[in-house]
Structure 1
Amino acid sequence: MRTRALAVGIAAVMLATAGIASTAQAESSSEATCTQPTSAPVRGKELAWHDEFSGRTLDTRRWSTVMDFPGRAGGHYHNTSYGSYAVDENVVLSRGRLGLITDNKPVVGTDPAGTYQYTEGFISSHDKFFQSYGYWEICAKFPAGKGLWPAFWLIPQDRSWPPEIDVAEWFGSIEGMHSGLASGNWPDVRWDSHWSYGPVPTQGWHTYGVNWTTGSITFYTDGKPTSTITGSQIPSKPMYVVLNSGTWANPDRGGPPDATTPFPNTFDVDYLRVYK
């Protein structure tokens, strides 16, 4: 009897252990990010700069949370196309990932002064890292919801505009992902754009990248090219990275958030890597 009881006990422990392992594996799988092999545009290139977001707080040697580019209204507010004000507490690092939070919490801002309905997370590598050309990539998961407007983009270090390279710009109201180039001179700005539609960016982790060379820009999703721009409008000046969440304020492109928009929500980034 004791032998049988011991055998039953061992079997129970084995089943419980297997259950725990199975649960852990399922949780690990559900949390898996961008695990695909090295994509074609990375091969043969040297890693120039990166952040794996493995710390507890944002690395201020790499990033700033203050805006410094033409067209902004202040250091924490882009312009009237946005309904959100950037606050440092909306930049969160957890479990080796960056979370840029958008929340429906009205805030009284000082830079510029005013009351703003929504808050966002914003980081940029201005004055920290910038280069001309190369392959720039994030692994990310975008939030779902009407009026949400998170983005991964590049802008010139010299504070000029245009150009601007939008690598992955998500419009939640229309479930549209935009990538493209703004070029020319203000106010005569030329846009070369590519759009894709559907909820896929919000349903899992994907890589979004741009391979920028002399006279050519090619955009990638999960290592596969989605569109290419060529011509004399391709910029050559050094550019830096911006990652931000936020909300759309205008009536077009599906309009701003409404009662259906989930708050708070997060633009999650597992890593950012730049190659030369």
Structure 2
Amino acid sequence: MYILVFTAALLPAVSTATTLIPKTVFDSTANLEQYFTYNYPWGGNTHNGAARMDKAHVAISSPGTLTITAQPVKGQPPATHGGKQLAINYLAGAIGAKQHFTVPKGGGFVFSGSFQATTTKGTWPAFWLTAVNGWPPEIDMAEWKGSGKISFNTFNTSSVLSWKDVQYNDPAQFHDIKCELRDKNGKDTQVKFWMDGKEIATHVGKDYTGKPFYLVINLQMEGSSGKPGPTTNTTYSVRNLEVTTL
């Protein structure tokens, strides 16, 4: 009689994903603050638009849902960006992940969530990754710039980039967004975008592998989305946010 014995060493290795930010992240303010800081993760409260970010405009509007509100204001001191002064016409909100995300050789990440985003002129909600050390890289996993469309962008330089603009119907509804970053060759990173379960585009980030990213969710105003923006409050909501490794 022969007995076949299989040992673990003979079985193929099984790769399992690790959850870095769980879907419970917006169940409470305590959960939010475990994984995110307020304002931009590099330490600023303004960037390249007409909104100044603060904690008061970021809230768990209901368990599981993060809502950022942009409020029109007057009398704010201007901001400086790129050597230019920018008028501040709104108070709004941004959050940045405490963790940095670096695509390793042979690995990657999946970023996903459901978003309720406005496409009104002068509103500029975004879900994006940007360089910790210098710029680029930058990946706009979802960006709405007041045009009625959603944009998916990957920057290799300020003038060399890949982008895909898609009509964004029913902005009052939540839409599912997913972005997968996968090392391509030990140097470059493949970037895939999905909306509502449909693959939208595939880009390649040159020399992205091994470079750390910030993760940012923010509601900027005016700037690249045009002006004047709304004269009443604007909201941007996110739920089911999750970040996992491949």
* Smaller-chain TM-score bracket: 0.7 to 0.9
Residue ranges of structure 2 left out of the alignment (5+ in a row): 1-14, 185-189
**Residue in structure 1 matched with residue 177 of structure 2 by the alignment:** 208
CA distance in 2, matches of 1:129, 1:92: 23
Indicate whether 1:155 and 2:130 are aligned.
Answer: yes
Q: Structure 2: which amino acid aligns with 1:257? A: P
Larger radius of gyration: 1
Q: Shift in Å at residue 115 of structure 1? A: 6.2
Q: 1:110 and 1:271, CA in 2 relative to 1: closer, same or farther beyond 3 A?
A: farther
Matches within 5 A, 1:79-228: 79=48, 82-96=49-63, 97-106=65-74, 108=76, 116-125=88-97, 127-132=98-103, 133-157=108-132, 159-172=133-146, 174-184=147-157, 189-200=159-170, 202-215=171-184, 216-228=190-202
| Structure with the largest fraction of helix | 1
| Structure with the largest fraction of strand | 2
Larger CA deviation: 263-272 vs 57-66 = 57-66
CA distance in 1, matches of 2:39, 2:79: 10
**Residue in structure 2 matched with residue 247 of structure 1 by the alignment:** 221
Q: Shift in Å at residue 120 of structure 1? A: 1.4
SS in 1 for 2:36: coil
TM-score, with normalisation over the residues of structure 2?
A: 0.77
Contact 2:51 2:220 in 1 (8 A): yes
Q: 1:58 and 1:86, CA in 2 relative to 1: closer, same or farther beyond 3 A?
A: farther
Q: Shift in Å at residue 182 of structure 1? A: 0.8
Contact 1:210 1:218 in 2 (8 A): yes
Q: 1:118 and 1:101, CA in 2 relative to 1: closer, same or farther beyond 3 A?
A: same
Contact 1:109 1:115 in 2 (8 A): yes
Q: Shift in Å at residue 180 of structure 1? A: 1.4
Contact 1:61 1:128 in 2 (8 A): no
**Residue in structure 1 matched with residue 242 of structure 2 by the alignment:** 273
Q: Shift in Å at residue 57 of structure 1? A: 5.6
Alpha-carbon displacement from aligned partner over 1:139-197 (angstroms, at most 9, x marks no partner) = 1111242210000001233x32100010000012x11211111114xxx5421111012
Residue ranges of structure 1 left out of the alignment (5+ in a row): 1-42
Q: 1:198 and 1:67, CA in 2 relative to 1: closer, same or farther beyond 3 A?
A: closer
Identity of aligned residues (%): 22
Contact 2:122 2:228 in 1 (8 A): yes
Q: How many residue pairs are counted as aligned between the two chains?
A: 216
